[in-house]
């Protein structure tokens, strides 16, 4: 008797790409909100009295709960134990709630409340609006990182053995489009209503993103039903156990990728928050023009990442790609740091931004599809959670470090800008050298990863797509 062949939903190309489109759209809106005030550093300093230290702390606050309350570790465990649908909805709600709190912190109505008075009564050099914004951004950070690891596992679920790296590359490209949009749109929103208006539009976009996450859950439920996945039918030997966390943190391949991840992203995401003011200072242009120049940064990543993903699916060479990415990362930050302002024109700025965008394509496009080759599927969600947790340690500390370094290397500048003195600007050489240092360390660790892969046979240099 011939067995009946069941065609699963993820066997359909159309269904796979529709699922990818739904989750990618949410990440577009999430990435928009991550940097929604990044082009507005000067406006926050003049209107809200947020010094570079405070601005850097805002960037770090996004990761506070993930790091110190271990929410990312818990998120990975929740994902493996409760499944994709539950985790996506939880992540979407956390993002919307945190964004709403951050928006409220910047409104005029908040300043007249008893909460504002109480928050302003301690650590007085941090404005009450910033403290509440920190709290809201921390809640948003729990949601966005939980969404990130869930989307990664979702792509593996739909594309493993198929176009996995291409799918991850396309998802990242759509997310990078959110970065492009924020540097184009945020200054325009801020012209009518200030930073609060920009945050309001970011919140509105996140509400749309929550709807797309919700729409995806119906596809996920149908696929699980076809696969016979349920709490009652799961193999106890295949279920995630807390003891699996030990296996993750003692896996040399995981540790190498995690180290590379934290170094690379520490030189990218914190830089995005300071890049607009850096370009405005070095090119002597207004913030809106500087933000427009920097908006080209994700364009290179958007264009190249899917192609790199396709190359990895067909040809491999994941570890080698990370080495090349680290070289470009270091070179771009050294140009920003060492080329004198009189020699640093618009062409140099945009060219360097494109180099950095290319680095931003090479490393993530090869890093994330490599993780499923290193760890078992049953604790893949926890592995993504753990690596994001390690990444978040850097993303929390580095913006604070950069804000402190910028203030320390420019004595008296913050006070003059807050007082409205015209023509005063920061020198970003020291912060850029710090970013370049992360690139140098990432370059060395990429060679370590390649050696570990050769020793343990993870297959990072092999193609992702299985030959039929």
Question: What mean pLDDT is predicted for residues 176-205?
Answer: 92
The pLDDT of residue 464 is 67
Reply yes or no on whether the pLDDT at 16 is more than 60: yes
The pLDDT of residue 466 is 63
The pLDDT of residue 311 is 85
Question: What mean pLDDT is predicted for residues 99-125?
Answer: 94
Q: What is the pLDDT of residues 314-333, one digit of tens each?
A: 887 888 888 999 999 999 99
Reply yes or no on whether the pLDDT at 467 is more than 80: no
Q: What is the pLDDT of residues 56-96, one digit of tens each?
A: 999 889 889 988 888 888 888 888 888 899 999 999 999 99
The pLDDT of residue 468 is 52
Q: What is the pLDDT of residues 332-362, one digit of tens each?
A: 999 999 999 889 999 999 999 989 988 888 8
Reply yes or no on whether the pLDDT at 455 is more than 50: yes
| pLDDT confidence tier of residue 5, bands split at 50, 70 and 90 | low
Question: What mean pLDDT is predicted for residues 150-164?
Answer: 87
Reply yes or no on whether the pLDDT at 236 is more than 80: no
The pLDDT of residue 237 is 40
Torsion angle of alpha carbons 398, 399, 401, 404, nearest 10°? 170
Reply yes or no on whether the pLDDT at 203 is more than 90: yes
The pLDDT of residue 234 is 41
Within 10 angstroms of residue 380's Cβ, the number of other Cβ atoms is: 24
Over the range 26-42, which residues count as b (16 or more CB within 10 Å of their CB) and which as e?
Answer: bbbbbbbbbbbbbbbbb
Question: What mean pLDDT is predicted for residues 239-246?
Answer: 67
| Domains detected in the chain | 12-227+241-456 (1.20.1250.20)
Mean pLDDT of the chain: 88
The pLDDT of residue 185 is 93
Scanning the structure block, which residue is given the tokens 């696969």?
Answer: 227
pTM beyond 0.95:
no
Scanning the structure block, which residue is given the tokens 């992540």?
Answer: 91
| pLDDT confidence tier of residue 26, bands split at 50, 70 and 90 | very high
| pLDDT confidence tier of residue 242, bands split at 50, 70 and 90 | low
Question: What mean pLDDT is predicted for residues 260-286?
Answer: 91
């Amino acid at each position: 008797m011939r067995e009946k062949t069941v065609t699963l939903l993820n066997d359909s190309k159309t269904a796979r790409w529709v699922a990818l489109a739904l989750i990618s759209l949410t990440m577009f809106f999430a990435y928009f909100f991550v940097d929604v005030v990044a082009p507005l550093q000067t406006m926050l300093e003049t209107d809200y009295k947020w010094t570079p230290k405070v601005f850097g702390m805002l960037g770090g606050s996004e990761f506070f709960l993930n790091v110190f309350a271990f929410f990312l570790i818990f998120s990975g465990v929740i994902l493996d134990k409760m499944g994709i649908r539950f985790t996506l909805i939880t992540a979407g709600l956390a993002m919307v709630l945190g964004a709403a709190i951050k928006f409220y912190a910047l409104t005029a109505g908040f300043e007249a409340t008893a909460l504002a008075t109480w928050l302003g009564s301690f650590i007085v050099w941090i404005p009450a609006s910033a403290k509440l914004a920190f709290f809201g951004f921390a809640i948003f950070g729990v949601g966005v990182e939980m969404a990130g690891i869930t989307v990664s596992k979702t792509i593996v679920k739909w594309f493993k053995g198929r176009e996995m790296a291409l799918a991850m590359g396309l998802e990242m490209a759509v997310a990078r489009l959110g970065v492009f949009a924020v540097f184009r749109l945020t200054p325009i929103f801020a012209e009518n209503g200030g930073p609060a208006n920009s945050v309001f539009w970011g919140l509105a976009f996140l509400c749309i993103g929550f709807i797309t996450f919700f729409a995806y859950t119906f596809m996920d439920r149908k696929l699980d039903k076809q696969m016979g996945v349920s709490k009652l039918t799961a193999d106890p030997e295949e279920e995630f156990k807390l003891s699996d966390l030990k296996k993750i943190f003692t896996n040399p391949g995981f540790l190498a990728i995690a180290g590379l991840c934290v170094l690379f992203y520490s030189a990218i995401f914190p830089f995005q928050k300071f890049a607009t003011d850096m370009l405005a200072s070095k090119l002597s242009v207004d913030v809106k023009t500087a933000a427009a120049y920097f908006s080209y940064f994700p364009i290179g990543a958007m264009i190249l990442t899917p192609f790199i993903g396709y190359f990895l699916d067909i040809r491999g060479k994941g570890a080698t790609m990370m080495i090349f990415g680290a070289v470009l990362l270091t070179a771009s930050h050294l140009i920003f740091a060492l080329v004198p302002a009189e020699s640093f024109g618009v062409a140099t700025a945009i060219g360097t931004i494109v180099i950095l965008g290319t680095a931003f394509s090479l490393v993530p496009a090869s890093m994330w599809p490599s993780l499923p080759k290193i760890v078992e599927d049953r604790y893949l969600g926890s592995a993504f959670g753990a690596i994001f947790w390690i990444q978040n340690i850097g993303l929390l500390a580095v913006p604070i470090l950069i804000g402190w370094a910028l203030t320390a290397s420019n004595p008296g500048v913050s006070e003059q800008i807050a007082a409205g003195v015209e023509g005063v600007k920061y020198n970003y050489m020291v912060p850029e050298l710090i970013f370049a240092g992360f690139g140098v360390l990432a370059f060395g660790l990429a060679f370590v990863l390649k050696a570990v892969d050769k020793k343990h046979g993870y297959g990072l240099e092999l193609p992702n797509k299985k030959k039929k």
